[in-house]
Amino acid sequence: MSKSSETVDNNGFIISNNDQDPVVDSPAERWLNWLGQTNLGKCSTVITLLFGIYVRWNVGLNPYSGQNIPPMYGDYEAQRHWMELTLHVPMNRWYYYDLEWWGLDYPPLTAYVSWICGKIGSMFNPEWFALDVSRGFESEESKLFMRSSVLILEYLIYVPSVIVFVNWWLASKSWQKRRLAVLFILLQPALILIDHGHFQYNSVMLGLTVWSLNCFFYEYYVIGSVAFCLALGFKQMSLYFSPAIFAYLLGKCIKNKPQGFILFVKLGVTVIITFVIMFFPFLDSVEHISQVIIRMFPLNRGLYEDKVANFWCAINIIIKLREMFEIHVLTRISLFTTLLAILPSCINLGLNPDKHRLVYCLANSALAFFMFSFQVHEKSILLPALPITLLTLDEPFWSSWFNNVALFSMFPLLKKDRLILPYFVVWFMWNWMGSFVQRDVKPVVLRYISWASYLVMAVIHFFDFNIDPPKRYPDLYIVLNVTFSSGIHLFMLLYFNYRQITLPYNLDEKKDKRKAE
């Protein structure tokens, strides 16, 4: 196999690979080449989608958050309860009803989707979502329905968005490379384990975000704005992406001077109308909409939850910020730090609003929010993981390294959910298929640093499984995980900011020329 020709910047980092040569000689690539040789290339997408269903379904056969653990159970019960709540409780009571039992704390679009799922599920068996008496309900049939709802919604929203994205992003490359990207993105371990193992519907939010990107790429800015508003209306965590989206659209309005003001007005009106429609049932009084916002942004929960691999949790080992400051002070500190962290990439994007820079800025904005914002969950790492995974063929070394550390950072949560076996199986499968650990990078020292990080993860896992932590430090291995992972996350934030700022200018024009050729 011939070595792929590469474009390298002045600092030795790989910018792009030759369009004709394979990215890496991995099992996944060899499989796609074999399909092409046997005239099954046209079926490769279908085969990939079926394999994705197979992997997700097998992960779903394992325990979920809070399974058989009363009294509160876990995220599975929260999602089931919201279907019960929206089905039986009047809409004007959704954000008030029995808040001690998994009270609704997501935006209205999640509630509407829960209502639809509850309606459909009740057609099979009303007992699954009977008001109050169904709390903790865990029959095999109801679990089958709940698992299926995650899979169906993902394949209706997230999967098509990824395929459309890849076909635009890699339009000038071979069909093998496009299918390779789809395979790697759809088999990203973290999202599969959280949505289909732990149990959530993050793929809906992420899929709507990718649909907004697709619309922006094809210059349907108004429709793209609607899609992103829907992502915000489904999960408030989408705010992690909002500075990048705002900077890109504002930059487009400023650059397109003849029509820029008209576009600005269109976008503003579109955002207002979309949010008014989503929140309309709750706009009957200031008190009602205030309750919705308070539920969505519960500042009283503190700076972070559990042990999350971000900056604040990591420095808590030495500096006890939560004991030193009141919540309102911590809120201001985290806000200022987050704004400081996102400014360089957002300013760069606003001044140079091209599509490639947008994806990098999404990664930088989301990662900055994860590292420094207020009230961060460990699952929030899925947000920066989205754009970084979309760059899987542009940044194969960095994308795989980030995803591996991101998954490792969630291990304490997955261990708590008894998802250790699928954690290792899906993680090793994804890395084996992509031969990610074998990837070259310049300067070479980075490769050795990445290997050292994998060694650290292996050592922490070894001690975690074989040696009990000291009674004085019961969370020792979790703290080591958090400290290590947050350090790598910070390093990744610096790298992706560097990559965005040093991207060549007029990348969109160059891409259009390659498409024409």
List the chain pLDDT tens, one digit each, 517 residues.
334 444 444 333 434 443 434 345 889 999 998 988 888 878 899 999 999 999 999 999 999 999 999 999 999 999 999 999 999 999 999 999 999 999 999 999 999 999 999 999 999 999 999 999 999 999 999 999 999 999 999 999 999 999 999 999 999 998 889 999 999 999 999 999 999 999 999 999 999 999 999 999 999 999 999 999 999 999 999 999 999 999 999 999 999 878 899 999 999 999 999 999 999 999 999 999 999 999 999 888 778 777 899 999 999 889 888 888 888 899 999 999 999 999 999 999 999 999 999 999 999 999 999 999 998 999 999 999 999 999 999 999 999 999 999 999 999 999 999 999 999 999 999 999 998 887 878 888 999 999 999 999 999 999 999 999 999 999 999 999 999 999 999 999 999 999 999 998 877 766 656 555 5
pLDDT of residue 514: 58
Residue 516 is assigned to a structural domain of this protein: no
pLDDT of residue 19: 40
pLDDT of residue 320: 87
Residue 20 is assigned to a structural domain of this protein: no
Residues 6+ apart with CB under 8 A from 244: 345, 346, 349, 358, 361, 362, 364, 365, 366
Q: Do the beta carbons of residue 395 and residue 440 sit within 8 Å?
A: no
Q: Do the beta carbons of residue 295 and residue 104 sit within 8 Å?
A: yes
pLDDT of residue 512: 59
Length of the chain: 517
Amino acid at 184: F
Residue 56 is assigned to a structural domain of this protein: yes
pLDDT of residue 36: 85
- Quote the Cα angle for 434-438-440, to 5°: 110
Domain that residue 54 falls in: 27-61+139-508
**pLDDT tens per residue, range 299-323:** 887 787 778 999 999 998 898 888 8
Distance CA 412, CA 482 (A): 10
Q: Which residues of 145-168 are buried (b: 16+ CB within 10 A; e: fewer)?
A: bbbebbbebbbebbbebbbbbbeb
Distance CA 55, CA 33 (A): 22
Residue 380 is assigned to a structural domain of this protein: yes
pTM of the model: 0.92
Distance CA 16, CA 234 (A): 35
Residue 81 is assigned to a structural domain of this protein: no
Residue 103 is assigned to a structural domain of this protein: no
Nearest CA to 310 among 453, 188, 488, 461?
488
pLDDT of residue 227: 98
**pLDDT tens per residue, range 450-487:** 999 999 999 999 999 999 999 999 999 999 999 999 99
Domain count, the chain: 1
Residue 89 is assigned to a structural domain of this protein: no
Q: Do the beta carbons of residue 501 and residue 348 sit within 8 Å?
A: yes
pLDDT of residue 443: 87
Residue 328 is assigned to a structural domain of this protein: yes
Q: Calculate the alpha carbon distances from 443 to 9, 18, 360, 394, 431 in Å.
A: 11, 19, 21, 17, 22
